[in-house]
Chain A
Amino acid sequence: MTSVHEYYCPPALYDLLYSDFTADLPLWVAAAKAAPGPVLELCCGNGRVLVPSRAAGADIEGLDLAPAMLEDARRKLAAQGLEAPLTAGDMRDFARPRRFALITIPFNAFLHNLTQADQIATLTRCRAHLEPGGRLMLHIFHPDLEKLLEHDGTPRFRKENPTPDGGRLRVTDTGRLDPVAQRVTMARQVERLDAAGCITETLDLSFEMRYVWKPEMELLLAAAGFGAIEVQGGFEAPRAPRAGDHLVWTAWAT
């Protein structure tokens, strides 16, 4: 059977698909702990980054579009005897009473802004929510041409993750690229296999994203009023970005 889901529902499925991505966690947890004031994570989802950040002692709150994801994050926090303010809201037009020393947008979530107006609106809201001297940090991938060109309408195996019942989740992506608008339309098919390897369920998760080039990101941050800007390749020791890299951007509200 095939069922169509909102991309970030159900939360348990999100965990099975993405909790294997941990390379960015040390960077985010360290940044949240070291922030000299409150931290806001945009698009915090069900807490892949927010829960370990809170557990490490950060004064962090979260914002996300999907109430079901926030509910799941609350449950995970409570299981560790923790709490954090979590608000349903849109990164393009959120308003919080506090100002923050650090605002984060991990794991490509900024790429859900599908128009230039949305991109600038999000960055402008971030700028308005920073304390003087506060900073925005966000992670987006740098486009790799060969990978972009794989979005040619052909289904491609992406990965297979184990499930607690001894089965597997198999992810197959069928992407389409619009290189002028810089959009990828992704039909992501997730098949649930039982321990015997039989497909028991097929889920269709579709989403769109708008990728961003490096000089373009600098112009977007400048358009939103950010002054000093830095970018590094990868999540570890700062190094110059390479094509296809994970880029971690830092922009200061000066």
Chain B
Amino acid sequence: MDRMGHLSAGPAGDRLPTPFEDPARYDALFEDLDFDRSFYVAQARAAGGPALEVACGTGRVLIPCLEAGADVEGLDNEPAMLERLRAKAAARGLRPRVHLADMRSFSLARRFALAFIPFNGFVHCLTTADQRACLAACRAHLEPGGKLVFNTFFPRMTGERPRDGVPILEHEAPDPASGGTVRIYDTRSHDWVAQVQHSEMEIQDLDPSGQIVASRCSATDMRWTHPPEMELLLAASGFARWTIAGSFGGEPPSADSGLLVVTAWRDGA
């Protein structure tokens, strides 16, 4: 680490870790995010049957679902995230059923009235083949009449866009563990042919006086999907009908937000 607290790329190797390999930091940054949480908790409560959260991580959405009385199982492919989820749930007297599995190839015994993928979990499917496999696996786990709900994004296509290669302060949150602050800088680049957004992140720990005391670098890729492409993916994955909204309130998609909220039903109306 240099004296500014930046971790220089170095002996750790060619590959930076993903942000999901450090669940404590992940929670410090994101646990309190609730832009989508109340939406998914309401979906799980109204499902009329068991629900499955795909890419449940440390339980930011799953634990509140359980606390609201919903019957929800979860799956994630990162053991450290699930371990933290279990510990957090246990502290609340909850015993969640969560599975270590890949969203493209999971196979569970149960069928669900609702499957859901919050917070861009779907964007970790980096190729069309991965996307189709994930959607087909979700559909295969739905009861007749069941639905899949997930949110994803496409890049903002208006004049006000962050430039590729420039670090942006993505998020800043108090860190209860240290009494300081944790913040994340995201430096993005876009591959417009493959539709992959590459993010190099630096997560900084600041002490109460504002000094950087630690810094961790990580990287992740996210595949975005344009709205017409999403319709083709859903059809190719066997869904019978769907709605594609641009907000959790059901407004139409807009290039200013880039948010897509998809609801896809296993069967026809």
- Contacting residues, chain B, for A116 (C-beta < 8 A): 228, 231-232
Distance (Å) between the CB of A172 and the closest chain B CB? 21
B contact residues, total (Cβ < 8 Å):
24
Which of B193, B225, B255 contacts A180 (CB under 8 A)?
B255
Asked whether B157 lies within 8 Å of A179 as measured between CB atoms, the reply is yes
- Contacting residues, chain B, for A144 (C-beta < 8 A): 192
The complex places the Cα of A220 from the Cα of B228 at a distance, in Å, of 10
Flag whether A194 is at the interface (Cβ < 8 A): no
Flag whether B227 is at the interface (Cβ < 8 A): yes
Task: Please name the residue on chain B nearest to A120 by beta carbon.
Answer: B232
The complex places the Cα of A241 from the Cα of B253 at a distance, in Å, of 28
Distance (Å) between the CB of A155 and the closest chain B CB? 18
Task: Please name the residue on chain A nearest to B159 by beta carbon.
Answer: A149
Flag whether B220 is at the interface (Cβ < 8 A): no
Q: Which residues B114-157 have CB closer than 8 A to chain A? A: 128, 157
Asked whether A215 lies within 8 Å of B192 as measured between CB atoms, the reply is no
Which of A148, A223, A241, A243 contacts B236 (CB under 8 A)?
A223
Distance (Å) between the CB of A121 and the closest chain B CB? 14
Asked whether A219 lies within 8 Å of B236 as measured between CB atoms, the reply is yes
Q: Which residues A214-254 have CB closer than 8 A to chain B? A: 214-216, 218-220, 222-223, 240-243, 245
Flag whether A213 is at the interface (Cβ < 8 A): yes
Flag whether B226 is at the interface (Cβ < 8 A): yes
Asked whether B128 lies within 8 Å of A143 as measured between CB atoms, the reply is no
Asked whether B228 lies within 8 Å of A182 as measured between CB atoms, the reply is yes
Given A149-B157, A182-B226, A215-B128: A243 in contact with B192 (beta carbons within 8 A): yes
Asked whether A180 lies within 8 Å of B232 as measured between CB atoms, the reply is no
Flag whether A145 is at the interface (Cβ < 8 A): yes
Flag whether B235 is at the interface (Cβ < 8 A): yes
Distance (Å) between the CB of A117 and the closest chain B CB? 11
- Contacting residues, chain B, for A243 (C-beta < 8 A): 191-193
Distance (Å) between the CB of B92 and the closest chain A CB? 41
Flag whether A33 is at the interface (Cβ < 8 A): no
A contact residues, total (Cβ < 8 Å):
27
- Contacting residues, chain A, for B225 (C-beta < 8 A): 215
- Contacting residues, chain A, for B193 (C-beta < 8 A): 142, 214, 240-243, 245
Distance (Å) between the CB of A183 and the closest chain B CB? 10
Which of B128, B227, B253 contacts A219 (CB under 8 A)?
B128
Distance (Å) between the CB of A81 and the closest chain B CB? 44
The complex places the Cα of A12 from the Cα of B253 at a distance, in Å, of 42
Flag whether B2 is at the interface (Cβ < 8 A): no
Distance (Å) between the CB of A109 and the closest chain B CB? 19
Asked whether A213 lies within 8 Å of B157 as measured between CB atoms, the reply is no
Q: Which residues B210-237 have CB closer than 8 A to chain A? A: 225-229, 231-233, 235-236
Flag whether B195 is at the interface (Cβ < 8 A): yes
- Contacting residues, chain B, for A213 (C-beta < 8 A): 195, 226, 229
Task: Please name the residue on chain A nearest to B191 by beta carbon.
Answer: A243
The complex places the Cα of A144 from the Cα of B193 at a distance, in Å, of 10
* Residue in B194, B231, B232, B254 with the greatest tally of chain A CB atoms within 10 Å: B232
* Residue in B128, B193, B246, B255 with the greatest tally of chain A CB atoms within 10 Å: B193
Given A179-B157, A180-B227: A219 in contact with B233 (beta carbons within 8 A): yes
Asked whether A218 lies within 8 Å of B128 as measured between CB atoms, the reply is yes
Asked whether A180 lies within 8 Å of B159 as measured between CB atoms, the reply is no
Asked whether B229 lies within 8 Å of A216 as measured between CB atoms, the reply is yes
- Contacting residues, chain A, for B194 (C-beta < 8 A): 214-215
Distance (Å) between the CB of B155 and the closest chain A CB? 8
The complex places the Cα of A220 from the Cα of B193 at a distance, in Å, of 16
Asked whether A219 lies within 8 Å of B229 as measured between CB atoms, the reply is yes
* Residue in B229, B235, B254 with the greatest tally of chain A CB atoms within 10 Å: B229
Given A149-B157, A149-B159, A180-B227: A216 in contact with B232 (beta carbons within 8 A): yes
Task: Please name the residue on chain A nearest to B244 by beta carbon.
Answer: A180
Task: Please name the residue on chain A nearest to B226 by beta carbon.
Answer: A213
- Contacting residues, chain A, for B252 (C-beta < 8 A): 180
Task: Please name the residue on chain B nearest to A215 by beta carbon.
Answer: B128
The complex places the Cα of A182 from the Cα of B226 at a distance, in Å, of 9
Asked whether A223 lies within 8 Å of B235 as measured between CB atoms, the reply is yes
A–B pairs, 21, beta carbons within 8 Å = A116-B231, A149-B157, A149-B159, A152-B159, A180-B227, A180-B246, A180-B253, A182-B228, A213-B195, A214-B193, A215-B128, A216-B226, A216-B229, A219-B233, A222-B236, A223-B232, A223-B236, A243-B191, A243-B192, A243-B193, A245-B193
The 10 A-B residue pairs with the shortest CB-CB distance in the complex, in nearest-first order:
A219-B232, A179-B255, A243-B192, A216-B229, A179-B157, A180-B253, A215-B128, A241-B193, A214-B193, A180-B227
Additional A-B contacts beyond A214-B193, A215-B195 (6; CB < 8 A) = A179-B157, A179-B255, A181-B228, A215-B225, A216-B228, A219-B236
